[in-house]
Amino acid sequence: MFALIAWRNLRQGGRRTALLGVALAAVTGLLVLLMSLSDGVNDSMIRGATSLAAGHVNVAGFYKATPDEGFPMITETGEVKAVAREAVDGLATVIDRHRGWSRVVSDASSIWAALYGVEIAQEVRLRETLRPAKLASYVEDLDGLDGEAREGDIDGLAEPDTAMLFATQAKRLGVRVGDALTIRTETLRGQSNTVDVRVVAVMDDLGLMSNWSIFLPKRTILDLYGLDDDTTGAVMLYLDDIDRAPQVMEALRAAYAEAGFDVMEHDPRPFFAKFQTVSGQDWTGQKIDITTWTDEVSFLVWVIAAIDSVSALLITILTIIIAVGIMNALWIAVRERTTEIGTLRAIGMSRRRVLAMFLTEALMLGLFGTLVGAVGGALLAAGLDALSIPIPSQAVQAILMNDRLHLVVEPTEVVGVVVGFTIICGLSAIWPAARAARMPPITAIHITE
Amino acid sequence: MKPIVELLDVVKEFPLGKVTVRALRGVSLTIGRGEFVAIAGPSGSGKTTLLNQVGCVDTPTRGTVRIDGQSTSDLSESDLTKLRLHKLGFIFQTFNLVPVLDLAQNVELPLLLKGGLTRAERERRVRTIIDQVGLTDQLGQRPNELSGGQRQRVAIARALVTGPSIVLADEPTANLDSATGEQILDLMEALNRDEGTTFIFSTHDDKVMAHARRLVSLVDGEIAEDRVTQGAAA
């Protein structure tokens, strides 16, 4: 009955209730959309990072011939892989990639790029994630070409002296599939070396990371740097459950130490940010560095943090407005219903029950408004994701780490938003509800002479 | 007759700006169980203030109010609420029904507050009392769909449904036409006679006073007259 009184009073509130409900629904819907966008960027980042730059857990390290200079490589790749396979449960795949940094030169232009030396047959994720880009996305003068055509094949990397790059890079270099590039770098002995490669595939961009990543066959990298076959840049471990990455990292640290490897202290930064630290240390030889995928893309976490901060700021402001709105609406309701409150108090309703009745009213409004908003926001987010809308601006693509609008609706977060906003509504109502509860029946029923 | 209401030298003062208004000036009054008492007097004489003291919705500045032997000044706010719920029923001049509840729900409300009854028992009691006030055909109607007389009957049913010892009615016919007012007073009298409930009502209408079996007249916050009336003989 008390819930019924609350519900009917809400309906009685008419336009006031409707306006507050719509405002609540709109804010909740907006929050769900922003969270879906943030989760979408996070998802794109995980997909991009774990396809392009890192495994779920990475066993890499530095080799130092002299104390002053470290190279991002590990020797004894076979043994490193064997220890990992022995130590880790729930291991899906193990691959290894060479890493390098070089000038990439075309007939028209040149860029700096991170090189990844791969055995394409092993690279299941890379092949699943990437797809050839439309010519229109990187060829400026189509001149009779079909802009919708997608040229090249990632499996072309099985051939020696080939390269796969991304649309933005191809556009900057002015190349397409079949064109030649020159890769110029410095070997471990400090000599300059070059190799000519043929572009076998130009793929769709995959966020910020695809701006500087170029893939070559492993053999080409080994030859370019003059390395032994048993060396590599990083052994990348893919797990059945990505959330176990931190535990697996810790287990591997112990396993490698036990196997006699010298293991570096955990440093949650990508490998390229550690050169200066390593070069400043007084040791030579090989050290193993174990990181998770989040460490390797920590330089990108600012994007998610920025989206979350903007969302938080926006939602905080809107929440304050809503809370003030609810408080105000209940103040008005308490004033309008002074006689009713007094009557209820006179006929024996306790203060606690009056408080509960007004809180129920606010909670009902909160639950109804946020539920509608959350479901609406989730449906809109899912719909936008299904439409896979292309993002025209490369800058926005880089920030969102995707060439298409990608949103991910997390049901637990949606439930959290509904519960959270409903609680905020309840908290906003405490003051006016307490005022109603404290109202003496004599004041409320106006029966003083 | 065993007293159910006792007022001993009750004084009630209200601050009004810089002055203090004395609404009750040392009122002493004893009302027995089952009485049908009218508190009469002109506007400002202290009738409603007196009812407020008896109804435990206000506390006296000085003096003692005892309900069924229990001094109200010894009770906490929570105990006073329980006392109102269990021993008192209220009928207001402006009916004061909960507008969003229908007739039956308004009557059921005090039973829900009291607790301890099954839904079936509550429904049975509500039906019985609504039958008694003659509103069976209007069960599902909301207050705004009822006439003034019907609303006051609902208020009477709500006041009586918990079986209180005392029903307080503040000018119960003031907002009704005289014919309807008569019907309401007849109903109150019948309930007083049949159920033995003590009725204390305020009025300044001579016709209403004529129904009372005891008339307490207030003038300027003091009892000017306290007498048994012809209504007692009727």
- Interface contact flag, A447 B94, Cβ < 8 Å: no
Q: Which of A9, A351, A440 sits opposite B100 (nearest CB)?
A: A9
| Statement: residue B176 has pLDDT above 90 | no
| Statement: residue A443 has pLDDT above 80 | no
**Residue numbers in A near B99 (CB within 8 A):** 12, 340
Segment A366-373 mean pLDDT: 93
* Rounded Cα–Cα distance for residues A157 and B72 (Å): 94
Under DSSP, is residue A197 helix (H, G, I), strand (E, B) or coil?
strand
| Other residues' Cβ atoms within 10 Å of the Cβ of residue B190 | 12
Question: Residue B230 — very low, low, confident or very high, per pLDDT cuts 50/70/90?
Answer: low
**Residue in the structure block whose two tokens are 């926005």:** A396
- Interface contact flag, A343 B100, Cβ < 8 Å: no
* Helix residue ranges per DSSP H, chain B: 47-54, 77-87, 103-114, 119-132, 148-160, 178-195, 206-209
Residue B96 Rama label (left phi>0; alpha psi -120 to 50; beta): left
- Give the strand order in the sheet containing B214-219: B88-91, B166-170, B198-203, B36-40, B214-219, B222-228
- Interface contact flag, A449 B47, Cβ < 8 Å: yes
* Rounded Cα–Cα distance for residues A147 and A377 (Å): 35
The 8-class DSSP code of residue B161 comes to: T
Q: Parallel, antiparallel, or unpaired for β A110-118 and B62-67?
A: unpaired
| Other residues' Cβ atoms within 10 Å of the Cβ of residue B219 | 14
- Interface contact flag, B52 A448, Cβ < 8 Å: yes
* Rounded Cα–Cα distance for residues A383 and A426 (Å): 31
Q: Is the dihedral of CA A187, A189, A192, A195 positive or negative?
A: negative
Q: How far is A206 from chain B (nearest CA, A)?
A: 59
Chain A residue closest in CA terms to B22: A449
- pLDDT at residue A276, rounded to an integer: 86
At residue A218, what is the residue type? Answer: K
Residue A435 to residues A334, A426, A432, B39, B220: CA-CA distances in angstroms?
8, 14, 5, 33, 34
- Judged by average pLDDT, the poorest of A173-177, A391-395, A435-439 is A391-395
Q: Which of B23, B46, B96 sits opposite A343 (nearest CB)?
A: B96
Segment A119-138 mean pLDDT: 90
* Rounded Cα–Cα distance for residues A416 and B212 (Å): 63
Residue of B25, B56, B98 to mutate for A, most A C-beta atoms under 10 A: B98
Cα angle A326, A332, A335; round to 5: 140
| Other residues' Cβ atoms within 10 Å of the Cβ of residue A144 | 5
Which tops the pLDDT comparison, A253 or B172? A253
Q: Which of A2, A5, A346 sits opposite B90 (nearest CB)?
A: A346
* Rounded Cα–Cα distance for residues A337 and A332 (Å): 8
- Interface contact flag, B23 A349, Cβ < 8 Å: no
- Quick one: tokens of A75? 């020797």
Chain B residue closest in CA terms to A445: B96
Which tops the pLDDT comparison, A301 or A31? A31
**Residue numbers in B near A345 (CB within 8 A):** 57, 81
Average pLDDT in chain A: 89
- Quick one: tokens of A186? 């410095």
Residue of A347, A351, A358, A364 to mutate for B, most B C-beta atoms under 10 A: A347
Per residue in B21-42, pLDDT (tens digit) is 899 999 999 999 999 999 999 8
Q: How far is B128 from chain A (nearest CA, A)?
A: 20
At residue A339, what is the residue type? Answer: T
A268-275 contact pairs (CB < 8 A, 24+): A268/A294, A268/A295, A268/A298, A269/A295, A269/A298, A269/A299, A270/A53, A270/A295, A270/A296, A270/A297, A270/A298, A270/A299, A271/A60, A271/A72, A271/A99, A271/A234, A271/A296, A272/A72, A272/A101, A272/A114, A273/A299, A274/A62, A275/A70, A275/A72
- Interface contact flag, B113 A343, Cβ < 8 Å: no
- Count of all residues that appear for chain A in the document: 449
The reported pTM is 0.72
- Interface contact flag, A347 B77, Cβ < 8 Å: no
Q: How far is B72 from chain A (nearest CA, A)?
A: 15
Per residue in A253-283, pLDDT (tens digit) is 999 999 999 999 999 998 888 888 888 888 9
List all residues 6 or more positions away from A381 whose beta carbon is below 8 Å from its beta carbon.
Answer: A32, A33, A36, A37, A407, A408, A409
| Statement: residue B66 has pLDDT above 60 | yes
| Statement: residue A447 has pLDDT above 50 | no
What are the residue boundaries of the structural domains of chain B, listed by start? 35-56+81-232
List all residues 6 or more positions away from A436 whose beta carbon is below 8 Å from its beta carbon.
Answer: A334, A337, A341, A354, A355, A358
- pLDDT at residue B30, rounded to an integer: 95
Closest alpha carbon to B201 in B73, B41, B62: B41
- pLDDT at residue A290, rounded to an integer: 95
In chain A, the N- to C-terminal Cα span, in Å, equals 33
* Rounded Cα–Cα distance for residues A260 and B77 (Å): 77
Q: How far is A26 from chain B (nearest CA, A)?
A: 28
Q: How far is B233 from chain A (nearest CA, A)?
A: 32
Segment A102-112 mean pLDDT: 93
| Statement: residue B127 has pLDDT above 80 | yes
List all residues 6 or more positions away from A333 whose beta carbon is below 8 Å from its beta carbon.
Answer: A9, A13, A358, A361, A432
Per residue in A173-197, pLDDT (tens digit) is 999 999 999 999 988 777 889 999 9
- Interface contact flag, B100 A441, Cβ < 8 Å: no
Q: Parallel, antiparallel, or unpaired for β A180-186 and A285-292?
A: unpaired
* Rounded Cα–Cα distance for residues B68 and B70 (Å): 6
Question: Residue A445 — very low, low, confident or very high, per pLDDT cuts 50/70/90?
Answer: low
Closest alpha carbon to A124 in A236, A8, A266: A236
Question: Residue A78 — very low, low, confident or very high, per pLDDT cuts 50/70/90?
Answer: very high
Share of chain B above pLDDT 90, in %: 52
Cβ-based contacts under 8 A for chains A and B: 93
| Statement: residue B234 has pLDDT above 60 | no
- Interface contact flag, A445 B57, Cβ < 8 Å: yes
**Residue numbers in A near B47 (CB within 8 A):** 449
Closest alpha carbon to A290 in A312, A330, A263: A263
| Other residues' Cβ atoms within 10 Å of the Cβ of residue A404 | 15
Q: For the structural domain made of B35-56+81-232, what CATH number should be given?
A: 3.40.50.300
**Residue numbers in A near B109 (CB within 8 A):** 1, 344, 347
- Interface contact flag, B100 A1, Cβ < 8 Å: no
**Residue numbers in A near B45 (CB within 8 A):** 449
- pLDDT at residue A444, rounded to an integer: 60
Provide residues of A within 8 Å CB-CB of chain B: 1-2, 4-5, 8-9, 11-12, 339-340, 342-351, 353, 440-442, 445, 447-449
* Helix residue ranges per DSSP H, A348-440: 351-387, 394-400, 411-438
- Do the Cβ atoms of A15 and A288 come closer than 8 Å? no
- Interface contact flag, A447 B81, Cβ < 8 Å: no
- Give the strand order in the sheet containing B70-71: B19-32, B3-16, B62-67, B70-71
Share of chain A above pLDDT 70, in %: 99
Q: Is the dihedral of CA A384, A386, A390, A395 positive or negative?
A: positive
**Residue numbers in B near A344 (CB within 8 A):** 98, 109
- pLDDT at residue A446, rounded to an integer: 58
Chain A residue closest in CA terms to B161: A347
**Residue numbers in A near B55 (CB within 8 A):** 346
- pLDDT at residue A300, rounded to an integer: 77
